[in-house]
């Protein structure tokens, strides 16, 4: 769609403030915020009683993600996965690049970028995964090339998983290289040796049912890995980002580091906030839908995670969207059924593309509602501040523009009738996705009736970044989709 559009009478949420204003859009860009009865446009949308927000950023997805051996992959491709993200109000995702067996990192990057350009319905970027062999091959040369030439300025280091787990000497060199290049290092913080030992002990005892996966990933393994990675980062003098923090133990260590002035940041995920081990501890094969790494832990870890979001100890919420089906479609490699009754063979991952913090997350009978301020912090501003593959204004080599098209199913897992791992407990705001075109897309959400808030609101300070109008009013900045959400729902 080209031409002009006015969104009239809503409450505009920017990085700095929330205020009542009209939004004037021309040729796909926001050109003015204000109140002007003299404005005219090809189309007018009445947003009375609604918030108007920028599109969300999901900094952690796994679309078309292959395992290390290349024997299976996640069910969602870039088309269905990005559709799920858009249905949840997300308009930019950041996925990962890792080479398949025999494939260079550079070739993997171009393969993944091409697939995303062809399939994705929203904007995207990529983090690079540092292989365990990086100190003995040319991986760091390739990482440097992709950073300097394509702006992929966030590198992920796995501290767990045989074959992916980087030794400490790779962490030391990788963090040092990252510091020199201005790259943000990210870590999957689990001590892989502790995890392997715990899993082996469970197998020896015959405790292989799906729900025992949680016991194979002790919270102490997360705590130790955070401390070790942060110690190396402090020695090297680089910031550090901890992905998918799942435990009170991890939160406590991050808070202690921040109290000492260390630039250590972290994210958590919706499934850790609203689901506990108690929800699947007595399930049989159905527990496989809850298997992810780090695991969904006991519910006692939820309150510390919520508090960490409220106080800013954790600065963002990423979905870690990684879908595997609960049956075996003919067109997919082995999915969750390959590990039936033996959790080490169940591919780890849960869907989360529609479980974004734009809506209410309900846990234990209490409604947790993100108000506009923390939405800006956790879902729009903070990911762009922390994850460096979302570059500054006027420089978006890593944030690629992709084609737009009609939104299909909200993710393959949803399309095939595969429920989220927390059926009935993650509640994206109801509504519909507007027409997607060259103009800012609209996610108009209208509630059937007001929902009473029964729990404490999560509040946090917002970080100062450019106003939404400034972000979208120049040719050098990407087009920023916006969303319209009823004011009584936030």
Full set of structural domains in the chain with CATH: 4-54+432-489 (2.30.40), 56-386 (3.20.20.140)
Asked whether the CA dihedral 318, 77, 192, 163 is positive or negative, the reply is negative
The strand ranges marked E within 117-263 are: 123-129, 154-158, 184-188, 240-242
User: Mind giving me the DSSP string for 206-241?
Assistant: T--SGGGGGGGS-HHHHHHHHHHHHHHHHHHT--EE
Query: CA-to-CA distance for 229 and 157, rounded, in angstroms?
Result: 10
Give helix then strand counts, H and E, for the chain: 13, 19
The predicted-structure confidence for 408-419, as pLDDT tens digits, reads as follows 223 554 434 344
Mean per-residue pLDDT of the chain:
78
> Is the separation of the CB atoms in 298 and 275 below 8 Å?
no
The mean pLDDT value for 217-243 works out to 98
| pLDDT level of residue 460 (50, 70, 90 thresholds) | very low
How remote is the C-alpha of 391 from its chain's centroid?
Answer: 17
**CB-CB contact of 56 with 356 (8 Å):** yes
pLDDT of residue 244: 98
3-state helix, strand, coil in the chain (%, to 5): 35, 20, 45
Who wins on pLDDT, 270 or 464?
Answer: 270
Residue-wise pLDDT for 87-96, tens only, equals 888 989 999 9
Percentage of residues in the chain with pLDDT exceeding 90? 63
Res. 66: pLDDT tops 90: yes
Span 234-253, average pLDDT: 98
Count other C-beta atoms under 10 Å from residue 455's C-beta: 16
Query: What does the buried/exposed string (b/e) look like for 12-48 if buried means 16 or more CB atoms within 10 Å of the residue's CB?
Result: bbbbeebeebbbbbbebbbeebeeeeeeebeeebebe
330-374 pLDDT, tens digit per residue, is 999 999 999 999 999 999 999 986 655 444 343 333 445 445 554
Query: In Å, how far are 81, 271, 360, 453, 454 from 354, measured between CA atoms?
Result: 10, 11, 12, 21, 22
215, exposed or middle or buried, with CB in 10 Å at 0-12, 13-18, 19+?
A: middle
426-427, strands of its sheet edge to edge: 366-369, 360-363, 426-427
Cβ proximity of 321 and 352 under 8 Å: yes
Sheet holding 316-317, edge to edge: 56-58, 90-97, 123-129, 154-158, 184-188, 240-242, 264-268, 316-317
The answer for residues whose C-beta is within 8 angstroms of residue 102's C-beta and 6 or more apart is none
Residues in the chain: 490
Q: How far is CA 146 from CA 95, 116, 150, 432, in A?
A: 15, 17, 5, 38
pLDDT in the model for residue 404: 29
CA angle 266, 268, 270 (to 5 degrees): 160
pLDDT for 247 equals: 98
* 276-319 pLDDT, tens digit each: 999 999 999 999 999 999 999 999 999 999 999 999 999 999 99
User: For residue 7, what are the CA distances in angstroms to 15, 276, 372, 416, 473?
Assistant: 19, 41, 18, 35, 16
Q: Quote the pLDDT of residue 243.
A: 98
């Amino acid at each position: 769609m080209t031409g002009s559009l006015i969104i009239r009478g809503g409450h505009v949420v920017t990085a700095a403030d929330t205020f009542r204003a009209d939004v004037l859009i021309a040729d796909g860009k926001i050109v003015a915020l204000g109140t002007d009865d003299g404005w005219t446009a090809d189309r007018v949308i009445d947003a009375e009683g609604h918030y108007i927000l920028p599109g969300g950023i999901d900094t952690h997805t796994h679309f078309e993600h292959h395992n290390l051996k290349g024997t299976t992959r996640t069910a969602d491709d870039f088309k269905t996965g990005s559709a799920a993200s858009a249905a949840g109000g997300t308009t930019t995702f950041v996925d990962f690049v890792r080479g398949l067996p025999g494939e260079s990192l550079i070739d993997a990057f171009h393969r993944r970028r091409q697939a995303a350009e062809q399939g994705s319905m929203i904007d995207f970027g990529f983090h690079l995964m540092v292989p365990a062999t990086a100190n003995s091959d040319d991986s760091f040369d390739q990482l440097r090339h992709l950073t300097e030439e394509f702006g992929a300025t966030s590198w992920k280091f796995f501290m767990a998983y045989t074959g992916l787990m980087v030794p400490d000497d790779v962490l030391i060199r990788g963090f040092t290289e990252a510091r020199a290049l201005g790259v943000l290092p990210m870590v999957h913080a689990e001590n892989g040796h502790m995890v392997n030992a715990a899993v082996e002990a469970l197998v020896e005892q015959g405790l292989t049912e799906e729900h025992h996966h949680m016991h194979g990933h002790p919270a102490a393994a997360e705590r130790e890995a955070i401390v070790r990675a942060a110690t190396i980062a402090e020695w090297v003098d680089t910031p550090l980002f901890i992905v998918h923090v799942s435990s009170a133990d991890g939160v406590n260590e991050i808070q202690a580091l921040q109290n000492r002035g260390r630039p250590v940041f972290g994210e958590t995920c919706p499934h850790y906030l609203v689901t506990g081990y108690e929800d699947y501890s007595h399930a049989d094969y159905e527990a496989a839908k809850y298997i992810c790494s780090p695991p969904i832990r006991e519910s006692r870890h939820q309150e510390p995670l919520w508090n960490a979001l409220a106080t800013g100890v954790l600065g963002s919420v990423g979905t870690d969207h990684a879908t595997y089906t609960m049956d075996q479609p003919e067109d997919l490699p082995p999915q969750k059924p390959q590990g039936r009754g033996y959790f080490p063979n169940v591919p780890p991952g849960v869907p989360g593309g529609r479980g974004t913090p734009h809506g209410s997350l309900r846990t234990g009978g209490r409604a947790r509602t993100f108000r506009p301020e923390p939405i800006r912090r956790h879902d729009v501003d903070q990911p762009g501040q922390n994850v460096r593959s979302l570059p500054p204004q006027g420089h978006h080599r890593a944030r690629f523009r992709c084609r737009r098209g009609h939104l299909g199913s909200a993710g393959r897992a949803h399309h095939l009738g595969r429920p989220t791992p927390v059926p009935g407990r993650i509640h994206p705001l109801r509504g519909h996705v507007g027409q997607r075109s060259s103009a800012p897309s609209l996610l108009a959400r209208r509630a059937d009736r007001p929902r009473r808030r029964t729990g404490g609101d999560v509040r946090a300070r917002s970080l100062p970044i450019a106003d939404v109008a400034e972000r979208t009013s120049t040719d050098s900045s990407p087009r920023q989709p916006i969303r319209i959400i009823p004011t009584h729902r936030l």
